[in-house]
C-alpha cells in the first residue's frame, strides 16, 4: 500500500524510454531546466499512469502566501477537432497552469484588473494521486505560483532558492576539505500537534466554528493535570481515526512514524519521518488536509489552532532540522562525520541563529501563535539555543586539541530483567526554542496551524550565509585544519550569548536575556517589522532568496493576516455577546426575579437575593456597555485603509477591549445555572475524554 498513489521514479521508468528517464534523473540531480521535448514524454507517461490508476482530473497544487494549499481541478476529458471525446494532458498542461493571481494574497502587488498568474511545475517534489472517500481520484502536481510579471507569490519558491543556496555553500566547504559530494540538503521532520473534537460538540459553539478557538472561556471541574496524562492510552475512537489516517497517508507516501496523546485533553501528536525540507513541508500540508478528511469520516473535527482553550496547553509544530549529503551523511551528527566537519556546520548554525534570531522569530510569528508563545507549555518568545554541557565540552576540547571520544555512557538500572543500554550524548531541553538533540536541532516555536515553509527557508538562508563567510575565510588560509579551529573558536566566543542551557521558563532567564542584548518581540506586529530591516533585506536579496518586492509583499500579507484574524474574532465576540450572552443573562435575571417575588409572597426574607439581583444587573449593564464599546471600535478600525495603522489600533486598543469583555463574561458565567448557559461549556466539550 505504501506510496501506491505516488508516481515514484521507479514507476515513471516503466512508462518512458531509458534514455529519457536517465536524462530526467540528471536534470533533477543537477537542477537544470527541463526542455519541452523531454517534458512532452514525461507528460505522456504521467497521463498514462494517472488514468490507469483511475484519476479523472488533475490539479496544479500550490501554497499561496496565506500559507494554505490551493488548486483547481481540471478534467483529462476533452474534445478533439472532430468532436470526439479524448483524454488530454500534454507538456503545457504539466509545466504551466494559469490562475487568477489577484484573488490570492499579493501584498497589493496584484490588483483586480491585473489578474494573470502562473503555476509552474516543481519537479523536485513527487506527483501523487489523492482520493476522497467516494474513491474519486485527482492527480496532484506540486507547483510554484508567480505573477504575470514573474514575482513569486507562493511559499515554495523562496524555500527552493534557499535550499539551492545552502547546497552551493555547503558543497564549497566540503570540496575544500576534499570531500566528494554531489549535493547537500536541509532535512526536516515535523511533529504535528492537534486537537480532535466531536463534530456535534464543535458545531455548538459559534466561536469554534468561525475561529477554531473558544473566545469566551470558563472553568472546568478538572484542571489539565486531572485528565489523561501525556502518552496515556489512546481512546478507541481516536485509535480508529489514527489507523484510518495511517492508511490514507501511506497511499501518498507519507510515513507517520509516531502517534500519541499529548498533554491537554483531546490533544494529540503525529510525527512524520525526515525528508528533504521542501518535500517535508509539502507532506506536512498534505497531512493536515488528509487529517481533516479522515476526521469528517469519523464525525470528528481536527483543530490546528495554536490556543483553542484557555488554561490548557496549545499546539505547536516542532520542526526537527538537520543537514545531510546525498549519501546520507548527517553533518550535524557528531558520530556520523569527521569531527572538523561537524564542528564547522554546528558552529555555522549557532552563529546564524544569533545573527538572525529576529528573522527566524518573524518566520513563525502570527496572530494565533502569539496566544501560545511565552506560556509555560511553549517556548518563550526569546530565541536561544540549547547545546548541553557535553557539547560545550566537546567544542572546547576540539579548539584546544584535546581528543574527543565518540562513546556513549552505559545506562544500567541494576535491576533484574531490565536490559542494559546506552544514553545519548546530550540531554534535551523542552523549554528551549532551538535545542540541539544529538544529531539535529529541534525548532519548537512554529505554530500548529502554520505552513512550515518560511521557517525552513530562513534556516537554510541564514546557515548558508554563515557557510559562505566561513568558506571565504578557509579558502584564504594556508593551514585549513588550523583555520577551522580558529573560526570555530572565534564564532563560538562571539555568539555565545545565544547559548543557554538552563530553564527558559524562568524569570531569571528573561532578565539575563535582556542583559545579553537578546530582544523579545512578544507581539507579532513588532516581529514582522524586522523583515524590512536593511540587514535582512540585504541577506535575502543578495543571496537571491527574495527580491525586495517579494519581501515587502510578505510583510504586507503578514500585517493583513493579523488584521483579518483579529477582526474576525472581534466580530464573532460581538455576535456572541449580543445574540447569545446578553439575552441569556437577561432571561436568568427575570427567572431569578420571579423566584424573589414568589419568596416575598410567602413573606420570606429576600434581602440577600435582592442584593444579588442588583449586583448581577450591574454586571449585565457593564457587559452591555463593553459590547457597545467593542462595536464602536470594530466600526472605527474597519474604516482605516492603511493596514499598518489598522494593525496598531488592533494591537493597542481592540485586543484590550476584547479581553475586557471576555473577563466580564467569565466573572458572570460561573454563577449561571446550566439551562441559562449561552453555549456549551468546557465540561461539555471534554465530557467524552477518557
CATH code assigned at 644: 1.20.120.1560
* Average predicted confidence (pLDDT) for the chain: 91
Q: How far is the first Cα of the chain from the last one, in angstroms, to the nearest whole number?
A: 32
Domain boundary among the residues 104, 135, 154 is at: 154
CA–CA dist 424, 409 (Å, integer): 7
Query: Per-residue pLDDT tens for 435-475?
Result: 998 899 999 999 999 999 999 999 999 999 999 999 999 99
Residues 523 and 454 in one domain: yes
Residue 665: which domain range? 562-688
Residue 397 belongs to a domain: yes
pLDDT above 90: residue 32: no
pLDDT exceeding 70 applies to what percent of the chain? 96
> Is residue 482 domain-resident?
yes
Work out whether strand 55-61 and strand 137-147 pair parallel, antiparallel, or are unpaired. parallel
Place of cell 542583559: 515
Mean pLDDT along residues 172-196:
94
Whole-angstrom Cα distance, residue 361 to residue 353?
10
Query: Between residues 410 and 225, which one has the greater pLDDT?
Result: 410
Question: What's the pLDDT score for residue 669?
Answer: 87
At residue 263, the pLDDT reads 82
Look at residue 551 and tell me if it is in a domain: no
Q: What phi and psi, each to the nearest 5 degrees, are found at residue 436?
A: -80, 130
Please report the pLDDT score of residue 226 as a whole number: 65
Same domain, 136 and 189: no
**How high is the pLDDT of residue 35?**
87
pLDDT, residue 34, reads 85
Flag whether 408 is in a domain. yes
Same domain, 181 and 125: no
Residue 111: its pLDDT value, please? 63
Contact 43, 58 (CB under 8 A): no
The most confident of 72-86, 218-232, 242-256, 597-611, by mean pLDDT:
242-256
pLDDT at 150: 86
At residue 109 the predicted structure's pLDDT band, cuts being 50, 70 and 90, is: low
pLDDT at 406 over 80: no
Structural contact between residues 353 and 210, judged by C-beta atoms closer than 8 angstroms: no
Question: For residue 690, is pLDDT > 60?
Answer: no
Residues 170 and 129 in one domain: no
- Tell which of 546, 570, 591 closes a domain: 546
Task: Tell me if 554 sits within 8 A of 153, measured CB to CB.
Answer: no
In this prediction, residues 159-170 reach a mean pLDDT of 96
Asked whether the predicted pLDDT for residue 377 surpasses 90, the reply is no
Residue 597 located in a structural domain: yes
Cβ-Cβ contacts under 8 Å for 216 (sequence gap 6 or more): 207, 573, 576, 581, 662, 665, 666, 669, 679
| 164 or 218: which leads in pLDDT | 164
* Residue 347 scores a pLDDT above 80: yes
Query: 359 pLDDT exceeds 70?
Result: yes
Q: Indicate the residue among 546, 577, 604 that finishes a domain.
A: 546
Do 496 and 579 lie in a common domain? no
Q: Is there a single domain that holds both residue 478 and residue 348?
A: yes
Same domain, 141 and 179: no
What tens digit of pLDDT does each residue of 43-53 get?
Answer: 999 999 999 99
- Mean local confidence (pLDDT), 610-615: 90
Whether residue 557 lies inside any domain: the answer is: no
**Residues 217, 267: one domain?**
yes
Quick one: 536 and 603 in the same domain? no
The DSSP symbol for 687 reads: G
* For residue 536, pLDDT beyond 60: yes
Residue 517 and residue 369 in one domain: yes
- Same domain for 234 and 332, yes or no, is yes
Residue 376 lies in a domain: yes
* Residues 149, 231 within the same domain: no
**Which CATH number characterizes residue 54's domain?**
3.10.20.70
Confidence at 283, pLDDT banded by 50, 70, 90: very high
- pLDDT at residue 689 greater than cutoff 80: no
Running DSSP on this structure, what letter comes out for residue 67?
S
Q: What is the pLDDT of residue 645?
A: 96
Mean pLDDT of 224-242: 79
* Distance from C-alpha of 281 to C-alpha of 419, rounded to nearest angstrom: 38
Grid cell in block for residue 483? 583555520
Q: For position 202, which CATH number holds?
A: 3.30.590.10
Per-residue pLDDT at 431 exceeds 70: yes
pLDDT of 552 strictly over 80: yes
pLDDT at 220 over 90: no
The answer to whether residue 521 scores a pLDDT higher than 80 is no
Number of domains in the chain: 3
Residue 137 to residue 143: CA distance in whole angstroms:
19
The reported pLDDT for the residue numbered 631 is 97
What burial class does residue 289 get, using C-beta atoms within 10 Å of its C-beta: 0-12 exposed, 13-18 middle, 19+ buried?
A: middle
Q: Is residue 25 part of a domain?
A: yes
pLDDT, residue 115, reads: 74
Distance CA 65, CA 362 (A): 15
Amino acid at each position: 500500500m505504501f506510496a501506491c498513489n505516488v508516481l515514484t521514479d521507479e514507476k515513471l521508468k516503466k512508462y518512458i524510454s531509458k534514455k529519457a528517464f536517465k536524462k530526467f534523473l540528471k536534470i533533477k540531480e543537477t537542477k537544470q531546466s527541463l526542455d519541452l521535448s523531454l517534458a512532452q514524454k514525461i507528460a505522456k507517461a504521467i497521463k498514462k499512469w494517472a488514468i490507469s490508476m483511475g484519476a479523472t482530473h488533475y490539479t496544479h497544487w500550490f501554497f499561496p502566501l496565506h500559507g494554505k494549499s490551493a488548486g483547481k481541478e481540471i478534467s483529462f476529458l476533452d474534445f478533439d477537432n472532430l468532436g470526439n471525446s479524448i483524454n488530454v494532458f500534454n507538456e503545457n498542461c504539466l509545466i504551466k497552469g494559469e490562475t487568477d493571481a489577484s484573488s490570492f494574497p499579493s501584498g497589493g502587488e496584484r490588483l483586480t484588473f491585473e489578474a494573470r498568474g502562473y503555476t509552474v511545475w516543481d519537479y523536485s517534489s513527487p506527483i501523487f494521486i489523492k482520493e476522497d472517500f467516494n474513491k474519486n481520484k485527482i492527480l496532484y502536481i506540486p507547483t510554484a505560483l508567480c505573477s504575470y510579471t514573474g514575482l513569486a507569490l507562493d511559499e515554495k519558491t523562496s524555500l527552493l532558492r534557499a535550499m539551492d543556496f545552502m547546497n552551493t555553500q555547503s558543497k564549497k566547504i566540503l570540496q575544500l576539505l576534499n570531500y566528494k559530494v554531489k549535493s547537500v540538503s536541509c532535512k526536516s521532520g515535523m511533529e504535528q500537534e492537534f486537537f480532535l473534537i466531536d463534530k456535534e460538540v464543535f458545531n455548538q459553539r459559534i466561536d469554534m466554528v468561525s475561529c477554531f478557538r473558544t473566545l469566551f472561556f470558563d472553568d472546568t471541574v478538572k484542571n489539565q493535570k486531572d485528565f489523561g496524562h501525556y502518552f496515556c492510552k489512546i481512546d478507541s475512537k481516536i485509535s480508529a481515526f489514527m489507523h484510518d489516517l495511517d492508511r490514507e497517508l501511506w497511499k501518498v507516501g507519507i510515513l507517520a512514524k509516531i502517534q500519541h496523546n499529548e498533554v491537554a485533553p483531546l490533544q494529540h501528536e503525529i510525527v512524520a519521518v525526515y525528508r528533504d525540507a521542501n518535500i517535508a513541508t509539502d507532506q506536512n500540508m498534505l497531512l493536515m488536509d488528509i487529517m481533516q478528511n479522515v476526521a469528517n469520516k469519523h464525525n470528528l473535527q481536527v483543530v490546528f489552532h495554536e490556543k483553542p482553550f484557555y488554561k490548557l496547553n496549545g499546539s505547536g509544530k516542532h520542526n526537527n532540522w538537520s543537514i545531510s549529503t546525498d549519501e546520507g551523511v548527517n553533518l550535524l551528527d557528531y558520530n556520523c562525520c569527521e569531527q572538523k566537519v561537524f564542528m564547522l556546520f554546528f558552529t555555522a548554525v549557532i552563529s546564524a541563529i544569533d545573527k538572525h534570531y529576529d528573522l527566524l522569530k518573524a518566520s513563525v510569528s502570527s496572530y494565533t501563535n502569539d496566544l501560545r508563545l511565552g506560556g509555560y507549555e511553549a517556548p518563550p518568545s526569546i530565541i536561544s539555543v540549547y547545546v548541553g554541557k557535553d557539547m560545550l565540552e566537546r567544542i572546547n576540547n576540539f579548539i584546544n586539541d584535546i581528543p574527543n571520544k565518540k562513546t556513549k555512557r552505559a545506562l544500567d538500572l541494576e535491576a533484574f530483567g531490565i536490559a542494559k543500554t546506552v544514553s545519548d550524548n546530550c540531554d534535551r531541553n523542552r523549554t528551549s526554542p532551538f535545542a540541539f538533540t544529538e544529531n539535529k536541532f529541534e525548532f519548537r516555536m512554529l505554530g500548529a496551524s502554520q505552513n512550515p515553509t518560511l521557517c525552513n527557508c530562513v534556516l537554510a538562508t541564514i546557515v548558508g550565509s554563515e557557510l559562505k563567510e566561513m568558506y571565504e575565510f578557509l579558502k584564504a588560509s594556508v593551514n585549513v585544519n588550523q583555520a577551522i579551529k580558529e573560526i570555530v573558536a572565534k564564532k563560538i566566543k562571539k555568539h555565545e550569548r545565544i547559548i543557554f542551557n538552563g530553564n527558559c521558563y524562568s524569570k531569571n532567564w528573561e532578565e539575563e536575556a535582556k542583559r545579553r542584548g537578546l530582544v523579545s518581540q512578544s507581539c507579532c506586529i513588532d516581529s514582522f517589522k524586522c523583515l524590512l530591516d536593511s540587514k535582512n533585506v540585504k541577506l535575502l536579496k543578495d543571496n537571491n532568496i527574495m527580491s525586495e518586492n517579494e519581501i515587502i509583499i510578505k510583510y504586507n500579507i503578514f500585517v493583513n493576516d493579523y488584521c483579518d484574524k483579529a477582526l474576525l474574532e472581534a466580530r464573532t465576540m460581538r455576535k456572541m455577546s449580543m445574540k447569545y450572552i446578553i439575552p441569556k443573562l437577561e432571561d436568568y435575571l427575570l427567572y431569578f426575579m420571579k423566584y424573589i417575588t414568589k419568596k416575598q409572597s410567602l413573606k420570606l426574607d429576600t434581602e440577600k437575593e435582592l442584593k444579588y439581583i442588583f449586583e448581577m444587573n450591574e454586571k449585565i449593564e457593564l457587559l452591555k456597555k463593553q459590547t457597545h464599546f467593542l462595536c464602536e471600535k470594530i466600526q472605527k478600525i474597519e474604516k482605516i485603509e492603511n493596514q499598518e495603522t489598522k494593525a496598531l489600533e488592533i494591537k493597542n486598543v481592540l485586543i484590550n477591549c476584547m479581553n475586557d469583555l471576555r473577563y466580564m463574561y467569565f466573572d458572570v458565567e460561573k454563577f449561571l445555572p446550566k439551562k441559562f448557559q449561552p453555549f456549551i461549556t468546557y465540561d461539555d466539550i471534554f465530557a467524552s475524554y477518557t
